[in-house]
Amino acid sequence: MTAKRDTSRDGFKNKLETAVLTGFKPIWNFIQSNPGLARKVNKTLTNNAILKIPTRPYPFSTMSPYTSWDSLIDRTYSGLQLPPLDWKPLTNENYIGINLTSAEKFEKNLPPIQDLEILYHKIGETKYSPKSSLIFPYFVQWFTDSFLRTDRHDPLRNSSNHHIDMCNVYGLNPKITHLLRSYEGGKLKSQILNGEEYPLFYYDEDGKPKEEFRGLPHLYTDESTPKAETFPPEKKQKLFAMGLEVERANVQIGYVMLNVLSLREHNRVCDLLTKNYPTWDDERLFQTARNIVMAEFLKIVLEDYINHITPYHFQFFTDPLAFTDEKWYRHNWMSVEFSLVYRWHSMLPDTFIYNGQKLPMPASMWNNDMIINKGLGAIFEESCSQPAAQLSLFNTPEFLIPTEIASIRMGREAKLRSYNDYRELCKYPRITNFNQISSDEKVQKELQRLYGHVDNIELYVGLYAEDLRQNSALPPLVGRLIGIDAFSQAFTNPLLAESVFNPETFSPIGWEEIQNTKTLSQVVHRNIPQGKKYRVSFYREDWQPV
Amino acid sequence: MTAKRDTSRDGFKNKLETAVLTGFKPIWNFIQSNPGLARKVNKTLTNNAILKIPTRPYPFSTMSPYTSWDSLIDRTYSGLQLPPLDWKPLTNENYIGINLTSAEKFEKNLPPIQDLEILYHKIGETKYSPKSSLIFPYFVQWFTDSFLRTDRHDPLRNSSNHHIDMCNVYGLNPKITHLLRSYEGGKLKSQILNGEEYPLFYYDEDGKPKEEFRGLPHLYTDESTPKAETFPPEKKQKLFAMGLEVERANVQIGYVMLNVLSLREHNRVCDLLTKNYPTWDDERLFQTARNIVMAEFLKIVLEDYINHITPYHFQFFTDPLAFTDEKWYRHNWMSVEFSLVYRWHSMLPDTFIYNGQKLPMPASMWNNDMIINKGLGAIFEESCSQPAAQLSLFNTPEFLIPTEIASIRMGREAKLRSYNDYRELCKYPRITNFNQISSDEKVQKELQRLYGHVDNIELYVGLYAEDLRQNSALPPLVGRLIGIDAFSQAFTNPLLAESVFNPETFSPIGWEEIQNTKTLSQVVHRNIPQGKKYRVSFYREDWQPV
C-alpha cells in the first residue's frame, strides 16, 4: 500500500533547510552549548519560521471579500491569510506574487462534502504516532481551546480573546473569573478529594447548578451537543466548575487533567506569594499568581511543546526580549487557517488504557471520576505511557468523523483558497501530481478519485493528507503554518513584552518560579503529593529518532 | 515682566538636537531635495521622536497600581507612561533608571486645586500665537476628539477606539454608523443648504429628534453640561446629526467645519468610486470611501499638521512602510498623559472675527448658522486669517477655566507623577529652580508661591508653564510627548500597514486621491463651489520664523 512519494515539489530551499536543521548534530550541540551563539540562532530560527508568509495585520477577514475599517478592527470575525474565493482583485490577478487557483473553477469542482467522509474512516488498525504520547494531543486540545474559539453557530465568527490567556482556567471574561475566585488569599475556589485539590463541582447534591456559579456558560448550540443537564447522574455530579462552558471544560479527561493542574499551580503560587508578600490583598495575590501561571505555561508551550513538534536538533527556548524589533510583532488575530491546522482529531486513538484496562475513547468524556479516583500524577503518567495516534487521513475515531466534516464545511463557508494556493503562500512549490502529497497509494487514489486534479484539493484535506516529516509530530504544511502562528502569537503576549516581562511584574519570587519552569513535568511534580515521581512527557517512552 | 530663563537644565543633547534641526538650512534643503536621503532622514527623525521613552505596551494603566492580566488588555482604562503614585515598587525604588519624586511627599504638598485657578486667568490682554492661525486649535480639538475620549463620569476610564478612526464623522461604533448612512451610492446622509452639502439636522421641524437618528447619543453627564433639548430654538434647529454625541459633535464652529468637510469629501469620493467601479454595491462604496478619507486625513495629520508644530527645517512626510521593523509599532493605547498634553484650551482666544465682526468665543458654540450662511470655503478662510491664542498659562478664556481645573483633577485622580518625573522620563534633566521652566517672572513667582519646590509641580501645570520653543507652536515637554504618541499611534493605523496600504485596499483611483492629498487646503478646495480659491493654512499669514 505504501509507494514512494515524489519529492520533486518539496522545494530545494525547504529540503536544504530540513537537511541543515536535522543533520550535523555535533554542530547543533556546539551551538546549544554556547549561550551567546544559541540566543542568536534561537532568534534566527524563530524569525525564519514566522517570516514564511506576510505578517499581520492581514488585509482580509471573514467579514467581507475586501478590506474595510471594520474588517481591520473587528476581531470577532476570523482572520484570513489569503483573500477569500469571492475576492475580486482590482489591481493584479495574482496576489503577492501567488498565481491563485481560479476561484470559479475551484468552487465548481469541489466534491460533495459527505463524499469526503471516506477519507477519515480507518482501514483496519489505528496508526499510532511513533513519537508522541497521548498527553500530546490532550495538551494541544486544551491549550488551543483558549484562543481558537470558532463560533458554533457561525463559523465565520469567533469568541476568542486572541491570546493564550488560559481562559479555560480563569474564565473567558472578568464576569466568569469572578465566579471562580474564592476571594481568599488570591486563590481559585477548590475542594480536596482523596487528599488532592480539585475545582468545585458545578452541581449541588440535588443535581441543581450551584447558586454561586450562576452565569457560568453552557454549550447549548445544536441538537448534537450533549447537555450537562441530561448526563447520567454519576457523571453529572462530578462536573467541575472551570473557566469555559460546563460541557466544554469537562469534555475529556485530558482537558480536565490540565485544568486541574493549572488550578493547583495557581493556588500553590498564591501560597508562595502570601508567604513572601504578607501585606498583599486577595486581588493582588490573584492577579500576580495568574500572571505567573500564564508565563509558566507560555514557557511550556514555547519550549517543551514546540521542541516536541519539530524534528530539529536545536532546542528552541523562550527569549522574548530578542524579538522587540520584528515586523511580525503585531496585534494577535486568530485566523481560520490557524484554527484548521490545529484540528488533530486523528491523534486520538479509538481506545485508551485506564488502570491497565483498554477502554473506548468516548469513555474518557465527561468522566471526572477517572482523575478523582486515580490522582493527578498517576493519570498523567498513564497517559504518557501510551501512544497518541498518528495525525493523518484514514485514522480518525468514528465519533470524531462528524467533526472532520464540519471542519471541511467551515473551510468552504470561509471561502478558503485551495491547498495548492496555501502551499505557494508558505513557500512550498505547488504540487502537480497526487504522488507528491503522500506516499500512501490509498491516499493518492482517493484524492484523485474525489478531486480529479491536484489544484482542486481543499486546504483542510490537503493538510492532513501529507506524509509526516521524518521525526516530526506533524506533516510539513501543518508544521509550517503552526510555526508561524504559534511563535508570532505567543511571543506577542503582553506578559512577555519588554516593559512587562520582569521581576517587577511577576514579583521577584514569581520571576524565579517562571525561570525554573520549562516542562509540563515540572509543574505536575509541584502539584502532587510530595515525594512521588511520575514520567510526564510528550514523547513516547520508546521513541527513537530515525 | 519677562526675565531670562535659566537654560542650564535643558539638557546638552536636547539643545544640540534643536540646534541641528533648526539650523543649517541649506543642508536640510539639500537633504529634502534628494528623495532617497530624505526617506532615510524622515525615518531617523521619526524614530528619534518616538524612542524618547520606553515603547508600548505600558506595564501600568489606571486600573491598578500593579500589572494584572486585565490591566494589560482592558483598554477602557487609560494607559500610564509612568507608574502611578500608589505604586509600591518590589524591586527598585527607582523606575527604569528614573529617581522618582517621593510619592508621599508629592501628594502631601499639592496645593488645593481651586488655588490653581489663578494660573489660568488672563492678566490683561490675550497673548496671541505668532505662528498659528485659529484653524490650528480647531483642527486639534476635532481630530483628537476621535481618540482621546476620557469618560466624563470616571476620568480613569475612556470610550476610545484608540485609533484616528474619524469616529466624529463615522460614528463611534457600527450602530451609530448605520444611522448616518444613506445606503445609496455609499454616501453619508446629507442635505443641500444654500447650494452646499451638509449633514442632516438632528431635530425635525417640531423640535423632536428625528426617528431615523434614534440611538445617536447625547452628552448628558452632569449639571454643567448643556443639553441640546434646552437650546434656544434657532440653535437647536440647526444641530447636525454626526458621529458623536449631538452636543459634542456640534460643540463649536471649528468642529462642525471639519465634520462638514469630511462628510463632503466622503460623498465626493463615493461619486468618484461609483464612476470608476460601477458594479460596486453601496456597502463596498461606503467602506472603501471611508478608508480613503481616513488615509487622507492621516496624511494631513502626519504632514500638514505635524510640520506646523515643529520648528524644524526638515518637513516630515508619510512613509508608513519605513517603520515595519520598529519596536514602537505596537497596539495603540491612549494614555492619561497623552490626553493631558492635548488640552490646548488657552489657544482659543476670548474673541474671534466672523464676517468682520468681533464676537465672544462662546458665540461660536452650537451655532451652525455661522457656516450655513457663510459657506465652507469662506469660513475656513476667515478662520485662517486670524491668529490662535498662545498655548500658555494666564491665557485661558474664562469659560474654559473650569475645564483646566477638571484636567488638574484628572491628573490627580489618575495618580500621575510629578512634572519633574515626566521630564526625566522624556530625557529632560529635572529642573532645580523655577526660573528654569519659564522666562515669565509671573509664572515663576506663582509656581513658587503655590508649589514651594519644583519637585512639587504637577504634570498638567508644568506642561503649559514652559516657554514655547522658538518657532514652535508648542512648549518643549508638550511637543516631545505629542511627538511620541502622534507618530507611534498614527503610523500604527491598520490602514497604513504593510499588507494593507496599497491600491488593492483603496482601489487604484482611491490610491491616487490619497497620493494627491497632503494639506487640509487641498481637501477644502475639492469640496467648495468650483473656481473659488481661499487661503487655508495652519500658519498665520504674517508668520516669519525668527
Over the stretch A482-531, which tens digit does the pLDDT of each residue have? 999 999 999 999 999 999 999 999 999 999 999 999 999 999 999 999 88
Q: Is A288 on the interface with B (CB under 8 A)?
A: yes
Assign residue A186 a region (left: φ > 0; alpha: ψ between -120 and 50; beta: otherwise): left
Q: Is A324 on the interface with B (CB under 8 A)?
A: yes
pLDDT in tens, B4-15: 899 999 999 999
Rounded to the nearest angstrom, the minimum Cα separation between B72 and chain A is: 7
Asked whether residue B256 carries a pLDDT value surpassing 80, the answer given is yes
Q: What mean pLDDT, rounded, does chain B reach?
A: 95
A399 pLDDT band, cuts 50/70/90, is very high
**Domain range holding B431?**
1-54+73-189+254-546
- Say if residues B136 and B545 touch (Cβ distance below 8 Å): no
The structural domain count of chain B equals: 1
Which residues lie closer than 8 Å to B517 by C-beta, 6 or more apart?
A: B296, B299, B300, B523
Cβ separation of B91 and A503 shorter than 8 Å?
yes
Give the nearest partner residue to B72 out of A58, A331, A494, using CB atoms.
A494
Q: What is the pLDDT of residue A93?
A: 81
Question: Is B152 domain-assigned?
Answer: yes
Assign residue A452 a region (left: φ > 0; alpha: ψ between -120 and 50; beta: otherwise): left
Question: Is B352 domain-assigned?
Answer: yes
Nearest CA in chain A to B94: A504
Q: What is the pLDDT of residue B118?
A: 97
Rounded to the nearest angstrom, the minimum Cα separation between A324 and chain B is: 5
- Say if residues A396 and A122 touch (Cβ distance below 8 Å): yes
B173 pLDDT band, cuts 50/70/90, is very high
Place of cell 514569581: A510
Q: Is A67 on the interface with B (CB under 8 A)?
A: yes
Q: Which of B63, B64, B69 best tests the A interface by mutation, with the highest count of A CBs <10 A?
A: B69
Asked whether residue B3 carries a pLDDT value surpassing 90, the answer given is no
Give the rounded distance of the alpha carbon of B205 from its chain centre.
Answer: 35
- Say if residues A488 and A284 touch (Cβ distance below 8 Å): no
Grid cell in block for residue B44: 531617523
Rounded to the nearest angstrom, the minimum Cα separation between B272 and chain A is: 15
Place of cell 467551515: A410
Helix (H) or strand (E) holding A511: helix A508-515
Asked whether residue B96 carries a pLDDT value surpassing 60, the answer given is yes
DSSP A199: P
Question: Is B36 domain-assigned?
Answer: yes
Q: Is A93 on the interface with B (CB under 8 A)?
A: no
Of A414, A402, A366, nearest in space to A223 by CA: A402
DSSP B114: G
Cβ separation of B327 and A325 shorter than 8 Å?
yes
Asked whether residue B174 carries a pLDDT value surpassing 90, the answer given is yes
Cβ separation of A327 and B327 shorter than 8 Å?
no
Give the nearest partner residue to B59 out of A89, A161, A505, using CB atoms.
A505
Of A416, A432, A388, A427, nearest in space to A539 by CA: A388
Cβ separation of A329 and B329 shorter than 8 Å?
yes
Q: Which of B50, B53, B90 best tests the A interface by mutation, with the highest count of A CBs <10 A?
A: B90
Nearest CA in chain A to B65: A284
Taking one residue from A and the other from B, the number of pairs with CB-CB distance under 8 angstroms is 135
Asked whether residue A15 carries a pLDDT value surpassing 80, the answer given is yes
Q: Which of A50, A61, A64, A67 best tests the B interface by mutation, with the highest count of B CBs <10 A?
A: A67
Give the nearest partner residue to B54 out of A89, A495, A499, using CB atoms.
A499
Chain B residues inside the 8 Å CB shell of A331: 331
Chain B residues inside the 8 Å CB shell of A328: none
Question: Is B244 domain-assigned?
Answer: no
Q: What is the pLDDT of residue A475?
A: 96
Alpha-carbon torsion B370, B375, B378, B383, what sign? positive
Q: Is A90 on the interface with B (CB under 8 A)?
A: yes
A396 pLDDT band, cuts 50/70/90, is very high
Q: What is the pLDDT of residue B221?
A: 61
**What CATH number does the domain containing B322 carry?**
1.10.640.10
Mean of pLDDT values over B249-277: 98
Q: What is the pLDDT of residue B167?
A: 97
Which residues lie closer than 8 Å to A384 by C-beta, 6 or more apart?
A: A133, A134, A135, A534, A535, A536, A537, A538, A541
CA distance A422 to A424: 5
Question: Is B65 domain-assigned?
Answer: no
Q: Is A509 on the interface with B (CB under 8 A)?
A: no
Q: Is B9 on the interface with A (CB under 8 A)?
A: no
Q: What is the pLDDT of residue B219?
A: 80
Question: Is B499 domain-assigned?
Answer: yes
Q: What percent of chain A has pLDDT over 70?
A: 99
Grid cell in block for residue B504: 488593492
Nearest CA in chain B to A94: B504
Give the nearest partner residue to A287 out of B68, B494, B499, using CB atoms.
B68
- Say if residues A437 and A444 touch (Cβ distance below 8 Å): yes
Question: Is B142 domain-assigned?
Answer: yes
Q: What is the pLDDT of residue A4?
A: 85
Nearest CA in chain B to A81: B499
Q: What is the pLDDT of residue A223?
A: 62
Asked whether residue A392 carries a pLDDT value surpassing 90, the answer given is yes
Q: Is B284 on the interface with A (CB under 8 A)?
A: yes
Cβ separation of B55 and A498 shorter than 8 Å?
yes
pLDDT in tens, B512-540: 999 999 999 999 999 999 888 999 999 99
Asked whether residue B94 carries a pLDDT value surpassing 90, the answer given is no
Mean of pLDDT values over B192-213: 96
Window 120-179 of B, Cβ < 8 Å to A: 161, 163, 165, 170, 174
Asked whether residue B498 carries a pLDDT value surpassing 90, the answer given is yes
Q: Is A526 on the interface with B (CB under 8 A)?
A: no
Question: Is B63 domain-assigned?
Answer: no
Q: Is A65 on the interface with B (CB under 8 A)?
A: no
Cβ separation of B500 and A59 shorter than 8 Å?
yes
Q: What is the pLDDT of residue A2?
A: 58
pTM for the whole thing?
0.96
Strands (E), B8-121: 60-61, 79-80
Asked whether residue B347 carries a pLDDT value surpassing 80, the answer given is yes
Q: What is the ipTM of this complex?
A: 0.94
Cβ separation of A90 and B508 shorter than 8 Å?
yes
Which range among A259-263, A329-333, B94-98 shows the weakest confidence by mean pLDDT? B94-98
Chain B residues inside the 8 Å CB shell of A324: 55, 327
User: Measuring CA to CA, how many Å separate A490 from each of A302, A312, A510, B74?
Assistant: 8, 20, 20, 18
Nearest CA in chain A to B166: A69
